């Protein structure tokens, strides 16, 4: 499991309990609710959680607690919490 997958799964466990998960890429997790609706979630360099929209764009749905400035972002930093947008 990659670090990105692990971080996305931590977000899902904390914020989307009960969802089925399926790893489909290096940092992409597909979640499925009990009605069968699916969403694809991933993570960016700042630890923000992204959702792939129907038109293929990635929209930030939760902002991480990491600095959002590359000069202040430690190379091995990992998010601890997220704020849902």
**Cβ neighbours, 10 Å, residue 7:** 21
pTM: 0.91
Give the 3-state secondary structure of residue 4: helix
- Tell me if 65 sits within 8 A of 81, measured CB to CB: yes
Report how many domains make up the chain: 1
Residue 14 sits at φ, ψ, to 5 deg, of -80, -30
- Structural domain harbouring 58: 3-84
pLDDT tens digit sequence for 9-64: 999 999 998 899 999 988 899 999 999 999 999 999 999 999 998 888 999 999 99
> Tokens standing for 11?
């977000």
Distance between CA atoms of residues 32 and 36, nearest Å: 6
| Predicted pLDDT of residue 26 | 85
């Amino acid at each position: 499991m990659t670090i990105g997958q692990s971080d996305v799964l931590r977000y899902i466990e904390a914020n989307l309990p009960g969802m089925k998960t399926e790893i489909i890429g290096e940092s992409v997790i597909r979640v499925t609710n009990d009605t069968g609706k699916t969403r694809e979630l991933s993570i960016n360099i700042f630890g923000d959680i992204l959702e792939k929209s129907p038109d293929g764009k990635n929209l930030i749905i939760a902002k991480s607690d990491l600095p959002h400035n590359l000069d202040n972002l430690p190379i091995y930093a990992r998010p601890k919490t997220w704020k849902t947008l």
